[in-house]
Amino acid sequence: MAATNPTLFDWNDVDILPDMLRLELVLHYLPDDDIVKALELNRGRGRDDYPIAAMWNAVIAGIVFQHRSIQGLVREMRRNPSLLGVCGFNPMSTQGKPVTTIVWNEQADKAEIVSIPKELFDTVPNCWNFYRFLGNLIELEENQGLIQKMMKTLREQLMVELPDFGNHLGYDGKAIDSHSTGQENRETGETSDPDANWGKHETLGIDSNTGKEWKKVKSWFGYGLHLIADTQYEIPVAFGLTPASHAEVTELDRMLDDLFEETPALAERCKDFSADRGLDSGKLKSKLWDEYQIRPLIDTRELWSEEKQMPDYDPSKSITRPLNPDRADNIIHTEKGEVFCVCPLTGEHRDLAFQGFEADRNTMKYRCPAAAYGLDCEGRESCYKNADINVGDFGRIIRIDITEQDRRIFTPTPFGSPSWHRGYNRRSALERINNRIDNNFGFEDHFIRGKANMTTRVGLALVVMMALALGHAKEGRQGQMRSLVKPIPALDTG
């Protein structure tokens, strides 16, 4: 049987092109009816050279195909007629109806009605058309927030399609440079992007070899992207954009309120929330648990400083403090929430045996390590006396009420436990999403200035990511939900 070669201009062949399939998948699952209608209403009776729906589809195509500029998108559309067709433009240039007018015929000495043919109409919008369209889109988003509403709809659709979507959430902040140097104009005193400002991020640590503290400082002029995502599926859930100097903890607090107010079912579904040590806050950790019953998996900063001034301070050892400083006891803890007992006779430190979190009591339950693990402890009897209670064969039990302790240090899932590490390690999903934002969507090298412009562009990138994931999930390709570039396999039609 002879092979059938596709003809050069057979538009039916568009359906088997992998790139076009990705675009069609996004356009099909993107809930954009409201935004297209609003853009059409905004146009009113103005010029209608290019359909609103087609212009919108072209903007989405520029994101799907990762064009870093409008010029790149226009060039692609001029050399790719299949892309024009998928967006909704006529791939062939057309000629408008002739214009009828009256002219004076000098030879006949009378007026005559003539038809003047129009020039060929270019079906590919030029850069100016796209800049004007994007300007209207940015203004619309600033006033009505329709891209944010699309994100809410996609979030809810993903929750329906994936019963465990939202079980594990996480947060990460990301620096996004403005397309501005940040230098002030000598005459006006303003920068070329007045909405942006300078931000600074400090990273602290201790050298494992020397025991000395080190600090790394990063500064940038632009904005901060605040992203909440599902850390199991690596899919965005919500975002905020602020000038670079805005505090992450403040923005996350607002985002959580808005997110769980918009989607209460997500708060009920979420089991844990992870973030790095920059978000270490007793207020935030207590809010997650007290208001939403969500376990905070947030790294704890080491802020204790009094002990560092002591002459016998050893930076290679963790600082400890008594759990109950108001009475004589041998239970101590670190700033990370690790709890130990100190043998009254030998001075040996032993990890208490964690027995779980009692949610109905808001208490962390620990057991004497000697009783739990069958260890010999010379000071066992003295330790039991310190408890000031009757201790049976089960050994001493220590309950820590987290509401009566430092909420920054004591949380329902103790720092360093296996479940804490499993949940916290999922937070790396945020780093991969941020990498896609930089490299796939071009925010590492862009031409964007202005908060409204940046918010709209970031929002479009994230809804495209969510729509692509939703489409793959609905069509049985969960393994491709994270991929932005992997081709969609063509259907085998026999």
Which residue bears the tokens 């969960």? 478
Taking each helix axis from N to C end, the angle separating 33-43 and 127-144, rounded to the nearest 10 degrees, works out to 110
Q: What is the mean pLDDT of the chain?
A: 86
Amino acid 327: pLDDT: 78
Amino acid 248: pLDDT: 94
Higher pLDDT: 349 or 4? It is 349
Neighbour-count burial of 262, counting CB atoms closer than 10 A to its CB (0-12 exposed, 13-18 middle, 19+ buried) = middle
Q: What is the mean pLDDT of residues 332-360?
A: 92
> Does pLDDT of 120 surpass 50?
no
Amino acid 101: pLDDT: 66
Q: What per-residue string of b and e applies to 438-466 under the rule 16 or more CB within 10 Å gives b?
A: eebbbbeebebbbbebbbbbbbbbbbbbb
Amino acid 100: pLDDT: 64
> Does pLDDT of 222 surpass 80?
yes
Stretch among 3-12, 117-126, 270-279 having the lowest mean pLDDT? 3-12
> Does pLDDT of 361 surpass 60?
yes
Amino acid 3: pLDDT: 39
How do residues 180-191 score in pLDDT, each as one tens digit?
998 988 888 889
Under the phi-then-psi rule, with left for phi > 0, alpha for psi from -120 to 50, and beta for the rest, what region is 280?
beta
**Strand partners of residue 170:** 229, 274
Amino acid 484: pLDDT: 66
Which residue bears the tokens 């998948």? 25
Residue 427 makes CB contacts below 8 A (sequence gap 6+) with 170, 172, 231, 274, 275, 276, 297
Identity of the amino acid at 277? R
Amino acid 286: pLDDT: 96
Amino acid 391: pLDDT: 67
Amino acid 112: pLDDT: 73
Amino acid 95: pLDDT: 45
387 confidence band (pLDDT: 50, 70, 90): low
Whole-angstrom Cα distance, residue 178 to residue 176?
A: 6
Amino acid 454: pLDDT: 95
Q: What's the whole-model pTM score?
A: 0.85
Under the phi-then-psi rule, with left for phi > 0, alpha for psi from -120 to 50, and beta for the rest, what region is 422?
alpha
426 confidence band (pLDDT: 50, 70, 90): very high
* Fold exhibited by the domain 148-181+193-299+421-437: Nucleotidyltransferase; domain 5 (3.30.420)
How do residues 285-306 score in pLDDT, each as one tens digit?
999 999 999 999 999 998 898 9
- Where in the chain are the domains? 11-95+113-144, 148-181+193-299+421-437, 307-411
Whole-angstrom Cα distance, residue 304 to residue 298?
A: 18
Amino acid 7: pLDDT: 36
